[in-house]
Structure 1
Amino acid sequence: MEQNFKDHLLETPADYKVNPEQILINNKLLTKEESIQYFLNSYEQKVSQELSEYLDQSSIELAEYISNRTSQSIKSIPFRLSLYGNKSIEKYRHELTNDFQLLESKLITNDHQSGNYLINHLKNELLTCDSFDIIVSFIRGSGLNMLVNTLNILREIGIQGRIITSTYMNVTEPKALSTLLNYSNIKVKVYQSSKATDSFHTKAYVFHRKNHLSSVIVGSSNISAAALKTGEEWNIRTFEKASDSIYLKMMNRFNKLWSDDKTKEVNEEFIKKYANYMDNGKVIRPYINSFNISKTENLTNEIKPNSMQKTAIENLLNSITKGHKRGLAIAATGTGKTYLSAMCAQQVEPENVLFIAHRIELLEGAIRTFKNIFKDEPVENFVIYKGPNREFSKFTFASVQSLANDVDNLDPQLFDFIIIDEFHHATASTYMKIIDHLQPNFLLGLTATPERTDNGDIYGLAEYNIIVDVRLKHALESELLVPFQYYGISDNTVDFAINKGINEKDIIKLLSTNTRVDFVIEKMSQYTLSGSMKGLAFCQNKEHAKYMNEEFLKRGFNSQVLTSENSDIERLAAIRKLEDEEDPLEIIFIVDLFNEGIDIPKVNLVLFLRPTESAIIFTQQLGRGLRKFEGKEYLTVLDFVTNDRKSYLVPIALSGNKEFGGKEKLKSLVENNFNNLSENVHIEMDYKTKERILKAIDQQDFMSSEFIKKEIKQFLEVVRIETKQAEKKLSILDFYNFEDAPNLSIVFKGTYQSLPALNKAIKEARAIDEKILKEPITKWLFEELTKLIPIKRLYDILSILLVLKNQAISLDDIQKFIEHTFSISLNQQARTKIELAMKRTSKLQYQKQMVFNWNEEEQILENPIVLDNDIIRELDDYLSFVVASYQQEIDVKLLNQEEELELYKEYSRIEVAALVGFDKDLSSWRDGVKQYKGNHYLFVNLEKDQNNVEEHLLYDDYFISSEYFHWQSQNKTSQQSPTGQQYINHKRDNHKIHLFVRRKNTEDKRTLPFYYVGQVDFVSAKGNNPISIVWKLQQPVPKEILNELEY
């Protein structure tokens, strides 16, 4: 049947009851009028009204509206509602994605931006089918793990399935087959090749449903992490319909293969033989009951820069062009810092290179790296400097101590390009002796841990020139660390809900039971690891760790326990055993191994066996298993989530503490399986875990002083451990140096208005904090600085900092500082914005008196306040923090744009006013609509507070889809009015419409910022006073943001 899109919109299944009178409609294409009636009968009143307004629209617009509105806004369609009723899957509602539709044909491509991953589609299909058939050429544990939670549900509700796979190319993993055998509701067979040419490339998924609602997915994806989520895959999803027979033909073909003589049932004996063959690894001629194997070799030794290294090289060359003599590269351990430095040297083409490190082992490793990059250089050009009599070469490698002893005798211009490893030590006296004496054309600092500074400003030392900053999140996105799969497992063996206020001893009793040990082992058996087990298990305390070790040993595991009672030699020996592939040690039970700052690349399993008490510590422990290692495909993380009240910390940790933006964002992340994170990260929680976490989020006040103080105390604990300074107090730079620092938009928007005040509240004030708080004027100054953190209004905070440090600062001075620091040339409109920021600074009032003076004629901002050297040094830290965090979060190219607005960033109205160059009082931006210089700025609350907003202001604003937005003008605006005409004809008049959206006005007493979703274009208008306008967004809103806003 050929579809005529001008006349028909939807195709319905046979025997589906479409209206209250139980009228049956056969499988057919519905006309435009029938399509409208079809959705009117679904009892969605709001949509019914909207659909009536679309009667005069074209069929294409109507079809797009129906599809998008039902998937994005209603979050349920008749098919899903009926399935809930028929299959009793209402309690698993969190497992289905909101865009799932049964009557839909689509291409699935593992698109990260839209979250259109095959794994999500498979789970939707499996959870709503009556039975299923899967035929794939191979099954790997990395992909099967992602389906374990869904398969457990299918077993629980009795859904039967059949799977055909193969041992073609020996890619299927024996452990994955063993896992499938544990499911009594699933039958598994293997297609065995009889000759080398008898290949098996089939990849198809068939989902059977009653009432002709079956569906199929066919394309390129087997069952592996790459195929289901990260790889470039093309799969077509379609459904059973009268217009073709794809479903029937696939079902018949599957049944034929299922009965074929070449298709053999998988049992324990088969898996054992297959595993033995895989271990043996011999290549033999393929024949029935044998296993094909194929090996490929990497025929090139060429070393190419990874994404981090490419960015760093580009930024380095640009900063040299702009006159910088120094730069700093910050990159997580294992991401290739030494290779980066060699590649930078290769691009700069210096006459000679000096590489400085503090240990001889690091120098030897660096030499190997440089030889790999500079392959054409003779061996004699690479030397280690050992004393004043040793000749230098083109590539000289020196320990900091040996060089410091002789540096006074060296020509300051001796070296063209200097690299200093572990640059966080650079402010120490030994390093400074070298840095002060030598004057290379460029000095490059390398560090993975900027937090471990020796109480000095390494950012200022590097001219605030950060050429790259790659932390854990970016390293995962760039595939510089191993992917990880996190599974949140509801732990019903422990009940903390009925034990409020229990102490540590009671917690250990609840965690230390045979039932719980058996449950942990059962869940471990369901997941396939990347290689033989090499695990770390984090426990509540020493007693708990010892108990778990004893019980695992009784059950046949080869395990060990490590606590602070063990010596350094014992700890090192245990780590070496875990690293040794030949050693039988499988798992170490620990409490505080993360305190030692040790990474164990071989680790492929992390177990969290205790309630999460700190998001920061959780992330630190998770990170111990993320180092890459040959043959390590992914890290498996099993988190046994109890029903304690702090389970909300899990999503905070997984999404990143700095990214935490409040309850609705967290809840949306949990509901949607963290699809906004890197595609190299798979996070899945079973439905009970999701319900527990969502409940805990609702119950927690994230703006309370107690919550903030506890977060800061835990952060301080991590800072002390990582810096190995037991008495250290928090500085503003700690919030940049540590990737998992608390989100400052939360920390300083509640009770505590500055870092000194917060440090005092947790009884960890520094001497400088006491000094700042003692004088009312300095207390006020630091509160004003804190109001501008996180950094959006760069010019404003720099105006305050630079004038405080210099007594007086000119417009030219600030422009030159920004241009040099950020390696950018500012245009005239940027210069005008700097002037406006300086004028705003001059209007700041302390006790109703102006503090600073603006000299209009000379364009100089003057500061009458005399600050002592201690406070000036503190301001230096704030300046380093501002520069570093701005470069990390904001594209500096925006500084030259008319509107310094970045898509999908969050802004307050005042921030928007400043960033677009508003030249009057910023606080005048209070309303939902603002016009300035030919631009219209629309600020929308999707959820109106009906108790506090007058009825005439309850505008009907909502997303029709990711591309269309329905907005109502102010009540006094008609289509014929000047304002109405400006909206309708904004393109003709060359006016821009900017849309800012937030879900609601406040949350936990905090005013929420708006998402900037970009410029919009006029589509249509209806009515007057107010006008109902449909805007089309120039860029579709990413799925994760839409999910959050519509949650």
Structure 2
Amino acid sequence: MTLTLRPYQQRAIDNARAHVAAGRQRVLLVAPTGAGKTVVAVGLIERVLARGRRVIMVAHRRELIRQPYERLLAAGLTPEQVGVILAGVGAGGRHCDAAADGWGAARARPEAPVQVAGIDTLRRRELPAADIVIIDEAHRTLAASYRWLCDQYPDAVVLGLTATPVRSDRHGLGEIYQAMVVVASYAELVAEGHLVAPRVFSTRALPDLAGIRIRGEDYAQDQLAAACDRAALVGDVVEHWQRLAAGRPTLVFGVGIEHSTHLCAAFTAARIAAVHVDGTTPTAAREAAWRGLADGSVRVVCNCDVASEGLDVPAVKCVVSARPTASLRVWLQQCGRGSRPYEGAEYVILDHAGNAVRHGLPQDDRKWTLEGRKKGKGVVRPRACCWRCDECDGINPIRARRCEHCGAERPAREAPEWQAGELVELAAVGPLDDEQRAAAWALVVAEWRARNARGGRPSKPGWCYYRMRERYRCDPPRGGERPTWTTDEAARAQQFDRLRERAQERGYDPRWAHVRMAQGERR
């Protein structure tokens, strides 16, 4: 094999091997999108093969299986050394569907020492022997299919690869992995020229997320689509792109198929070469769209949950986020599509969803952990939020006094828009000054209002004071907003009190009042 590793990639392999030598058989490797996690995996496989071991690398999407297969061959392995376990790649040279076109010598070779496999296909096939199991997009390891996989290889070393070791269900990846290796930070890779730090712009025309519920780890898609798929917002996306990112190969992330199609139509109406892809788009058409971005024949590809993972098109130098998300993982995965350097081009993110203020800039230094989170807590970030420049719509770190994009002074602080959902806990560094305390209080009050907007029994205003002391270890600022119930919240509180009294009189379970409250709101 002829693979050349960057220093940080070699360090990651050395650190992972040290953990395994110390008896920690399941190790998670974390690196930003674009850092070369697949290259690290190939480097690991090179060393494993040299010792006569067998490896299986598993992923959940076809693109994530094809990439390591091609990298392994490029690094010097022969096709006979690499087997493919994937629906559509048949034995005896038969490609069973058009999705396998271009795989060249890809075959199902059970005897090969290296296997690349789709997790869904693997569960329906005879399992190959393996000493090392490599899991791509390892934030999914807690899913039932991957737990099953780990159970099938109890004596194997398990190595996970991910850019975002975080889940919105509060479970930590420490349920599977025993150690974590941070390959490199975003800032380190930018300093070394391996990644590009984006300029992030937002807009005043953000969708109204009031009342949208959380399902699973993200906003309910049907409600979200209704809030985002409006003519004014769709048109605003095109106008900002023409002003701030015209000409750049662009990925647009929509809420659903219909929303993405409308965005594509708006770009096309402005005489911009745009196409739409989604999960139902034939593989050949999707591949043509990615090639179009690379060669310039297509300027904009609008998509719905297709390009978030596994897409490697370095020419992409603009990402348009038109889909609000409550998931930090989804936000960072989308931003990572344009982070690879390409001919010195500047990278621009146009945030039409409020995600930058909600989750922070993609280049923020985040402290990852394998531990789970207590209820109501989120990923710890060093900055409370970002702020938007009124002059140029640029997004800036919370502590910046002037806009990093145009130099304008920071405007008077407004409370960021928090919506119903799993809110991220923001960690302050050291004692808060007056400005930081005001910002923290605004976040707490906004979180309280978002909690109450979900329906049911509203939390009392005193919740804000307890939350402020619990989270930031300080009292609210003098002169800050005094939280009070709205008329609707007060009415709901009275209704709940009446239901609770009725439950006590009849000897019902105390939860009866909550159930009746929810039933009444659904009618």
Q: Which range, TM-score by smaller chain?
A: 0.5 to 0.7
Q: Which residue of 2 is the match for residue 466 of structure 1?
A: 180
Q: Secondary structure at the match of 1:669?
A: coil
String of CA shifts for 1:616-662, please: whole Å, max 9, x gaps. 69955961641538x55434427599xxxx89939954664923247
* Pairing of 1:443-522 with structure 2 (within 5 A): 443-451=158-166, 458-463=173-178, 465-468=179-182, 476=190, 479-481=193-195, 483-486=196-199, 521=242
Partner in structure 1 of residue 499 of structure 2: none
Question: Is the Cα contact below 8 Å between 1:415 and 1:439 reproduced in 2?
Answer: no
> Quick one: which of 56, 69, 74 aligns to 1:355?
56
Contact in 2 for aligned 1:315/1:468 (Cα 8 Å): no
Deviation at 1:421, TM superposition (A): 3.5
The structure 2 residue matched to 1:671, chosen from 397, 402, 426, is: 402
Correspondence 1:369 to 2:55: no
Aligned pair in 2 of structure 1 residues 428, 622: CA closer, same or farther (>3 Å)?
Answer: closer
Aligned position for 2:371 = none
State the 1:316 CA deviation.
1.4
Structure 2 CA distance for aligned equivalents of residues 609 and 441 of structure 1: 40
Q: Which residue in the other structure is 1:637 paired with?
A: 348
1:558 to 260, 273, 285: 273
The structural deviation recorded for 1:695 is: 1.5
Q: Distance in 2 between matches of 1:699 and 1:626?
A: 30
Q: 1:695 aligns with which of 411, 425, 433?
A: 411
Q: What runs of 5+ residues in structure 2 fail to find an aligned partner?
A: 92-107, 206-225, 365-379, 388-395, 429-435, 460-465, 480-523
Q: Is the Cα contact below 8 Å between 2:166 and 2:173 reproduced in 1?
A: no
Cα distance in 2 for residues equivalent to 1:611 and 1:446: 26
Which of 604, 613, 620 is matched with 2:316 structurally? Answer: 604
Does 1:626 find its partner at 2:338?
yes
Match of 1:329 in 2: 29
SS in 2 for 1:351: coil
Task: Tell me the CA shift for residue 329 of structure 1.
Answer: 1.6
- Which residue of 343, 353, 357 corresponds with 1:649? 357
SS of residue in 1 equivalent to 2:160: strand
SS at match of 1:444: strand
Q: Is the 8 A contact 1:331 1:471 kept in 2?
A: yes
Q: List gaps (5 residues or longer) in structure 1.
A: 1-300, 495-502, 674-683, 717-740, 766-772, 774-782, 791-907, 909-1000, 1007-1047
Q: 2:3 aligns with which of 267, 286, 303?
A: 303
2:135 is aligned to: 420
Tell me: CA distance 1:478–1:764, structure 2 relative to 1, closer, same or farther (3 Å).
farther
Whole-angstrom CA distance in 1 between matches of 2:184 and 2:244? 34
Displacement of 1:352 in angstroms is 0.6
Contact 1:356 1:398 in 2 (8 A): yes
Assess, with a 3 A threshold, how the Cα gap between structure 1 residues 594 and 455 changes in structure 2: closer, same or farther. Answer: same
1:666/1:552 CA distance change after superposition, 3 Å: closer
1:584 aligns with one of 264, 279, 297:
297
1:329 touches 1:467 (CA, 8 Å); kept in 2? yes
Asked if 1:743 is matched to 2:426, the reply is yes
Q: CA deviation at 1:461?
A: 1.8
Q: Which residue of 2 aligns with 1:284?
A: none
Within 2, Cα distance between the matches of 1:425 and 1:612? Answer: 21
Query: Using a 3 Å threshold, how does the CA distance of structure 1 residues 476 and 712 change in structure 2: closer, same or farther?
Result: farther
Report the AA paired with residue 604 of structure 1.
V
Q: Give the Cα–Cα distance (whole angstroms) in 2 for the partners of residues 457 and 640 of structure 1.
A: 29
CA RMSD, 1 decimal:
6.1
- What CA distance in whole angstroms lies between the structure 2 residues aligned with 1:448 and 1:618? 11
Distance change >3 Å, CA 742–CA 442, structure 1 → 2:
same
Any conservation in 2 of the 1:357–1:398 contact (CA below 8 Å)?
yes
| Alpha-carbon distance in 1 for matches of 2:177, 2:265 | 52
Equivalent residue in structure 2 for 1:339, among 26, 39, 56: 39
Kept in 1: contact 2:313–2:337 (CA 8 A):
yes
Q: 1:424 to 1:764 in 2, by over 3 A?
A: farther
Q: Does 1:318 align with 2:18?
A: yes
- Give, in angstroms, the shift of residue 416 of structure 1: 3.8
Is 1:659 paired with 2:382? yes
1:435 corresponds to which residue?
A: 150
Q: Give the counterpart letter for 1:435 in structure 2.
A: C
CA drift at 1:406: 4.2
Equivalenced residues, count: 393
Instruction: Describe the shift of the 1:668–1:586 C-alpha distance in structure 2 as closer, same or farther (beyond 3 A).
Output: same
Secondary structure of the structure 2 residue equivalent to 1:339: helix
Change (3 A) 1:666 1:614: farther
Higher strand share: 1
Change (3 A) 1:480 1:742: farther
String of CA shifts for 1:964-984, please: whole Å, max 9, x gaps: xxxxxxxxxxxxxxxxxxxxx
Contact 1:485 1:634 in 2 (8 A): no
Q: Does structure 2 retain, via aligned residues, the 8 Å contact 1:357–1:399?
A: yes
- 1: CA distance, partners of 2:115 / 2:240: 57
Kindly indicate whether the alpha-carbon contact (under 8 Å) linking 2:80 and 2:109 is maintained by their aligned counterparts in 1.
no
**What is the TM-score of this pair, normalised by structure 2?**
0.53
Alpha carbons of structure 1 residues 616 and 396: separation in structure 2 relative to 1, 3 Å: closer
Measure, in 2, the Cα distance between the counterparts of 1:538 and 1:396: 33
Distance 1:539 1:425 in 2: 22
Native 8 Å contact 2:32 2:185 kept in 1: yes
Contact kept, 8 Å, 1:508 with 1:540, in 2: the verdict is no
Structure 1, residues 902-938: CA drift from partner, whole Å, max 9, x if none? xxxxxx9xxxxxxxxxxxxxxxxxxxxxxxxxxxxxx
SS of structure 2 residue aligned to 1:601: coil
Residue pairs, 1:206-225, within 5 angstroms: none
Q: Which amino acid aligns with 2:6?
A: N
Equivalent AA in structure 2 for residue 695 of structure 1: P
Aligned amino acid, residue 579 of structure 1: R
Q: What displacement does 1:466 show? A: 0.8
Whether the 8 Å contact between 1:559 and 1:587 is mirrored in structure 2 is yes
The one-letter amino acid of 1:660's match is: R
CA distance in 1, matches of 2:125, 2:233: 59
Q: 1:567 to 1:634 in 2, by over 3 A?
A: same
CA contact (8 A) 2:9 2:183 kept: no
Identify if the C-alpha distance between structure 1 residues 406 and 541 changes in structure 2 by more than 3 Å, giving closer, same or farther.
Answer: closer
